[in-house]
Amino acid sequence: MDATINLQHTDLLSDERYQLKKYSYQLIDGDQSTNKVTELYIRPDAVAVLPYDEERQTFLLTRQFRLVACLNGTSSGYVIEACAGLIDDNQQPE
């Protein structure tokens, strides 16, 4: 059975580069119901790729600085992750 939501209230918290919205909703899952509050950035869809180098038998990853990693205590702020980016409005994720 799929969960359903009853959206109760939406607040616009920021309208800078992307909108930041606060949603208050009721999550209904079977016979259980829970009230929730969640903040979400409204932004374009994203895609990730995991290239594989057959000759070296290894996956190719990228090393990027992430401010939140630095603020959370990662000594350098750098993380290793899959290559990813936002999808332009006129493109498909394939």
Q: Distance between CA atoms of 22 and 15, rounded to whole angstroms?
A: 12
Q: What is the pTM of this model?
A: 0.65
Domain extents for the chain? 1-43, 44-94
Residues 65-88 have pLDDT tens digits of: 999 988 987 778 899 999 999 888
Residue ranges in the chain whose pLDDT is less than 70: 1
> What share of the chain in percent tops pLDDT 90?
68
Residue 52 CA: distances (Å) to CA of 49, 60, 79: 10, 6, 19
